[in-house]
């Protein structure tokens, strides 16, 4: 095993079950159409086979078949902790709580699991509905002046929901937006650190200055909020209250730093991904008018002339299927890295300790074995009957196993209500064609402009 600046690079065995992807081929795809071109080619050729990306000494394995995912995420999860490149860079922002691994992650997970439980979601629903209605009012008002940017608008809407759910009424108007923007800046400025994980932190990289500035702003916003929350009673159901009452791995109450870290980690995990997924919803509905018609028919039938209510979510089954199909096709979180702690065999492929594995929901969601005609947008793939007969690991937009997304139910409820409220009140069209690109998430290549008009 060799070492480059502290990163262990195991000598990779050639193995017939492994599909090597040489640097030359990677470079050709990336030059032609960006990293998504490479991913799309891998989806078409030999789907499900473990691929090894030969990026010089860094040779991550792309793992996509449900049998292999079951091995890594469920049956041998202890051998595949996060410890990979992306996570150590993100850890500078999110600390060692819910964004990390080990005992403090476990303690934070326990606390936050209850904050996002079904019972808790019920208590949050008033705040969620108020946020969605107010956010939609604002959107409609802005859209009267001309097309609006879907990314910005969906981020605002998500923020309107998150603010009261996370902080009760403690957060001043506009401060939540500033917090979200600073966290997004801090995360964006970590890209070099993620790409070059072997560079020691003492060596400056582009983005470092922006990172420190943004994290300083984040702490300047969150620390007084926390002090305020400790002085005054905040709503029982807010996430900040749960964290204040929770205990850490040492059995003692979480410190201010740990609470701030967990809140930042929740923003990182949930805010941008939700806004991007909602942005893709409008693109998908614009490209499939018959699906939009189905959603509209369901929304009108279920909600009628009355106001939006939480119990509508259960009845909006087609709308929920549309959301699931959007998350299949666009797979916002396209890559979930892990690192092998000890030597192992995955399928028939030997995996050396220290190897990075990249789970790719984007590729899994295109396996023809589980998704016939995988590129066709078809919400009916998610009828109860068809979902029941499919391997559950063929669909993992929210991950799987011990780190499975804590915000899945929260997102699906929020997104169903957002789509229902907007479709109920507005005619929405996408002004220009949109193509995806690969960054930390699967994002639109160019801004998505929405034309929004009140429904006649």
Q: Does 273 bind ligand HEM (CB under 6 A)?
A: yes
User: Cα(first)–Cα(last) distance of the chain, in Å?
Assistant: 68
Q: Alpha helices, DSSP H only, in 5-149?
A: 23-33, 35-44, 66-69, 85-94, 103-115, 118-143
Q: Does 333 bind ligand HEM (CB under 6 A)?
A: yes
Among 26, 254, 277, 292, binds ligand HEM (CB under 6 A): 277
Q: Identify the residue among 38, 85, 266, 286 touching ligand HEM (CB under 6 A).
A: 266
Q: Is residue 182 at the binding interface for ligand HEM, with CB under 6 A as the rule?
A: no
Tell the smallest beta-carbon distance from residue 384 to ligand HEM (Å): 21
Q: Is 405 annotated as a binding residue?
A: yes
Only segment of 8-16, 143-151, 243-251, 400-408 that touches ligand HEM (CB under 6 A): 400-408
Name beta bridge partners: 337. Answer: 358
- 51-53 and 19-21 beta bridge pairing: parallel
| CA distance linking residue 24 with residue 13, whole number of Å | 19
The Cα 329–Cα 56 span in angstroms is: 30
Q: Which two tokens stand for residue 323?
A: 């959301």
> Which one of 120-128, 262-270, 348-356, 428-436 is the stretch in contact with ligand HEM (CB under 6 A)?
262-270
Task: Tell me the C-alpha distance between 101 and 81, whole Å.
Answer: 7
379 touching ligand HEM, by CB under 6 A? no
Sign of the dihedral through C-alpha 400, 406, 409, 411: negative
Smallest gap from residue 54 Cβ to ligand HEM (A):
24
Regarding 410 and contact with ligand HEM (CB under 6 A), the answer is yes
Those residues with Cβ within 8 angstroms of residue 310's Cβ, 6 or more apart along the chain or in another chain: 122, 125, 128, 129, 413, 417
347 in contact with ligand HEM (CB under 6 A): no
Yes or no: say if 101 and 83 are a contact pair by the CB < 8 Å rule. Answer: yes
237 binds ligand HEM (CB under 6 A): no
Provide the minimum distance between the beta carbon of 187 and ligand HEM in the complex, in angstroms, as a whole number. 14
Question: Please, are residues 356 and 85 in contact by the beta-carbon 8 Å criterion?
Answer: yes
Nearest to 137 by CA among 448, 422, 431: 422
Q: Which of 428, 333, 318, 330 is nearest to 379 (CA)?
A: 318
CA distance 313 to 315: 5
Q: Which of 171, 321, 398, 424 binds ligand HEM (CB under 6 A)?
A: 398
The single residue among 36, 69, 115, 269 that binds ligand HEM, judged by CB under 6 A, is 269
Residue nearest to ligand HEM (CB): 407
Q: Does 98 bind ligand HEM (CB under 6 A)?
A: yes
Q: Which residue, 18 or 275, is less far from ligand HEM as judged by CB?
A: 275
53 touching ligand HEM, by CB under 6 A:
no
Q: How far is the CB of 117 from ligand HEM (least distance, A)?
A: 13
| Size, binding site for ligand HEM by CB under 6 A | 21
Residue 277 or 303: which CB sits closer to ligand HEM? 277
Question: According to the binding rule CB under 6 A, does residue 83 interact with ligand HEM?
Answer: no
Q: Does residue 47 bind ligand HEM (CB under 6 A)?
A: no
256-287 vs 408-425: helix crossing angle, rounded to 10: 40
Contacts to ligand HEM by CB under 6 A: 82, 98, 109, 266, 269-270, 273-274, 277, 332-333, 336, 397-399, 403, 405-407, 410-411
Residues in the annotated binding site for heme: 405
Instruction: Name the binding residues.
Output: 405
């Amino acid at each position: 095993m060799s070492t480059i600046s502290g990163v262990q690079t195991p000598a990779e065995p050639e193995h017939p079950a492994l599909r090597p992807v040489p640097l030359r081929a990677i470079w050709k795809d990336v030059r032609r159409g960006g990293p998504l071109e490479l991913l799309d080619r891998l989806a078409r050729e030999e789907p499900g086979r473990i691929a090894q990306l030969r990026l010089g000494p860094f040779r991550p394995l792309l793992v996509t078949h449900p049998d292999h995912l079951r091995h890594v995420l469920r049956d041998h999860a202890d051998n595949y902790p996060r410890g990979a490149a992306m996570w150590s860079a993100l850890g500078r922002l999110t600390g060692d709580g819910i964004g990390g691994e080990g005992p403090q992650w476990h303690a934070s997970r326990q606390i936050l699991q209850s904050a996002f439980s079904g019972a808790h979601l019920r208590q949050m629903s008033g705040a969620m509905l108020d946020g969605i209605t107010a956010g939609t009012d604002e959107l409609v008002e802005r859209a009267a002046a001309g097309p609006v940017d879907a990314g910005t608008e969906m981020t605002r809407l998500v923020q309107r929901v998150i603010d009261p759910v996370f902080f009760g009424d403690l957060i001043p108007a506009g401060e939540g937006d500033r917090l979200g923007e600073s966290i997004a800046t801090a995360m964006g400025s970590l890209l070099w650190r993620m790409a070059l994980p072997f560079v020691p932190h003492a060596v400056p990289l582009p983005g470092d200055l922006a990172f420190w500035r943004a994290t300083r702003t984040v702490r300047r916003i969150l620390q007084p909020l926390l002090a305020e929350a400790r002085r005054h009673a905040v709503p029982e159901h807010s996430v900040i209250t749960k964290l204040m009452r929770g205990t850490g791995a040492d059995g003692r109450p979480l410190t201010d730093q740990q609470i701030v870290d967990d809140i930042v980690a929740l923003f990182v995990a949930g805010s941008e991904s939700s806004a991007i997924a909602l942005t893709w919803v409008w693109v998908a509905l614009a490209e499939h008018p018959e699906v939009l018609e189905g959603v509209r028919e369901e929304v009108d039938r279920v909600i009628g002339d009355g106001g939006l209510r939480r119990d509508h979510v259960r009845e909006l089954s087609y709308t929920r299927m549309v959301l699931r199909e959007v998350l299949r096709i666009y797979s916002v979180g396209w890559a979930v890295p892990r690192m092998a702690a000890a030597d192992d065999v995955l399928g028939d492929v030997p995996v050396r300790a220290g190897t990075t594995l990249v789970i790719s929901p984007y590729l899994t969601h295109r396996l023809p074995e589980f998704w016939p005609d995988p590129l066709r947008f078809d919400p009916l793939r998610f009828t109860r009957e068809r979902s029941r007969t499919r391997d559950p690991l063929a669909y993992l937009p929210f991950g799987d196993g011990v780190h499975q997304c804590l915000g899945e139910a929260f997102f699906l409820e929020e997104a169903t209500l957002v789509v229902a409220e907007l479709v109920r009140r507005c005619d929405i069209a996408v002004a220009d064609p949109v193509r995806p690109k690969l960054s930390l998430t699967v994002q639109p290549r160019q801004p998505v402009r929405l034309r929004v008009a009140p429904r006649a």
